Amino acid sequence: MSGEKQATLQIEGMTCAACATRIEKGLARMEGVLRSNVNYALERSTIIYNPSILARHDFEQKIAKLGYRALTEEEEQGKEDIKKQTYDYHVRLFLFSALLTFPLCLTMIFHFHFLSFMTVPSILFEPLVQFVLATFVQIIVGYPFYLRAFQAVRNQHANMDVLIVLGTSAAYLYSVYLLFESRLAGIQGPIDLYFEASAVILTLVMLGKCLELKAKGRTSQAIKKLLSLQPNQATVFRHGKQIVIAVTDVMEGDHLLVKPGERIPVDGVVLSGTSSVDESMLTGESKPSEKMAGAFVFGATVNFHGALRMRATRVGKESFLAQIIQAVEDAQGSKANIQQLVDRVSHIFVPSVIFIAIVVFCAWFFILLPHDLKVALIPAISVLVIACPCALGLATPTSIMAGSGRAAEYGIFFKSGVLLENAKDINMVVFDKTGTITQGNMKVTDLVVYSDDTYEKVLSLAASAESQSEHPIAQAVVRKAKEENLQIEPPIFFESVTGGGVRAKVGLDDVVLGTRSFMKLEGVKSDQLENTIRTYEASGKSVILFARNKQLIGLIAVADVIKPEAITVIQRLKKRNVEVCLMTGDNDRTAQTIAKQVGIEHVYAEMLPNQKREQIKRFKQQGYQVAMVGDGINDAPALSEADIGMALGTGTDIAIESADVALMKNHLAGVVHVIDLSQKTMRNIKQNLFFAFVYNGIGLPLAALGLLTPWVAGAAMAFSSVSVVANALRLQRYKLSSNK
């Protein structure tokens, strides 16, 4: 939709999934907002909106009204520092709380017979001492909870903070009541109080928050690794001088010098110099890529030997590395379909828990042990504390973050968390041929001349016409002419017909190269060559015809090499009961030969781009979940139509942009890894949700029956969220094997 704009805001103050749901719905109700998504684990909101109606500051104000805070654009630049400050703040609060709570915990020893041999200083049993210690914890450590709970209630909303405040306040205030009641009654010495319950709950919740923040930081390691690849400085030529500036100050069109051993600062084109560049961080290829004048280079790759002078073409957010980082962040921040279940539950969860706690209190106070306030209060407090929905809110997004982060480390980039979720259901994979099943490094094997022209003249003319094309066959023709040291003349006019061939004007000649069907459309007859063409195609070669001024003058046969992993990957897919097809614009005989060599039975040949897309659509109508794997411009429509489009990283920009998943390492095993990662991530999410639901399903009844004391409930609640994050982090240890 035209006129859309996206805003991404970091949000402070969320404590559970209910907070994220409230912000998301609040933003969605704003006029001009088309879609909103709030990720609790990433503490980030993504908003698609109409910029003619709304601006970023409108969202910041709305979030503030809801009781939270959105970081400004300036603050987001230093969001890593803010995260560290937040973590350090919580650690300090925890240590302070633990220091004051420990003496209160010692008094609990008195209640355990098996610890009766231990001695506890008698002063700790003094009610006033307990009151002072607990009050400092309740006021200083509890202040952030009270503040957020107040803001939530003011906005007619209930979240985790409300549960914590209700539970700890009940224990603390009831103890204060007992203390003053005993003193007014003239009772001296120790009495039964519950100051340790409120203090221990706050301390354990703070510990859980610290562990959660630490663990959540580990889920973003993939992005941190990518960011660390970006150099900080660049050597630029300005006003005739060579100066060193920050990479962020490099502008499009700047001329830069990259010395041996340096990382290339931004994307650009080599103007002069020759060198080899390590592009393994993008392609996974350990062999350096040779670069000379006219070659394209990517930011963050390493220049090995020679000095290069280059012109910056893509800087800042437009660079390839920045787009990869953005793709990873978008995937981690997006919401999987299964999260919708969690959102519905979390929306009603906290109010339901408060209602249950009231019912439990009334049951104990009026029915089970009538008018015993102390006995009725304890299970009600335990219910409030143990039911905090932290684990529920973390269950899905942390797994998505860990899974997509692990994928990124292996050069697999999902554009959305939904894709990571859906890839497990793929039951058909459609492969393109050239550059996908084959290496795409085609070589001219035969050139047959059908005119009075010399071999050199025909090859030179063909290479001149093809010199503006990126197609592998065109590049093979150009390479052959260069090997023969033939002249290549830039065409006066050039037009590429996707899936057909090229039209060009070289000197005074109108030149056409392409398939038989394309030649027929151009009015060039080739029936007399049918037997010759079939002979070449039967041996697995691709044939293009060459005409000048509507007269056929040559035939060029090219051959490609099958990728070494192709056979193994196709076997692995078949073992997973995945249907495999080959779909190509090449002729049927060549396609059948290649397919037979790699073990593919279903072949669709001589397909134009739109025909590929229509065939994908038919597969989907038949009930298949289709993945399309390709690398060329002619694959873009099919990649877009497929349920999941996978573009190989060595492919064209338009193919990668049209795809849902980019396989930067150009290895077909990535197709299997996408499916495996999806399956493991979804299994991990379901484990997390099982733990979260079962934890509450078991914990709530036990608390209601009075079988859990408040401090035990607090410990269980704190460590439940940590266990969910720890389980998600197991995905970061998933190893991708090319032979698995």
Which ranges of 219-319 would DSSP assign to H, the alpha helix? 221-228, 280-283
Six token digits for residue 686: 């379901």
Show the beta-strand stretches assigned E in 50-141: 69-70
432 included as an active-site residue: yes
Residues 6+ apart with CB under 8 A from 430: 581, 582, 583, 616, 619, 626, 627, 628, 629, 638, 642
DSSP 676-719: HHHHHHHHHHHHHHHHHHHHHHHHHHHHHTT-S-HHHHHHHHHH
Contact 12, 52 (CB under 8 A): no
> Catalytic pick from 58, 343, 432, 676?
432
CA-CA-CA-CA torsion for 17, 19, 20, 26, nearest 10 degrees?
Answer: 140
Helices (H), 410-514: 417-422, 455-466, 472-483
Cα dihedral 363, 368, 370, 375 sign? negative
Q: What does DSSP say about strands 267-272 and 44-49: parallel, antiparallel, or unpaired?
A: unpaired
Rounded distance between C-alpha atoms, residue 120 and residue 125, angstroms: 9
Distances, alpha carbon 448 to alpha carbons 171, 459, 462, 725, in Å: 93, 10, 12, 65
Distances 388 to 156, 198, 439 between C-alpha atoms, Å: 18, 15, 54
Continuous segment of H or E residues that includes residue 161: helix 160-184
Tokens, residue 61? 């104000």
The four Cα atoms 85, 87, 88, 93 give a dihedral, to 10 degrees, of 120
The set of catalytic residues is: 432
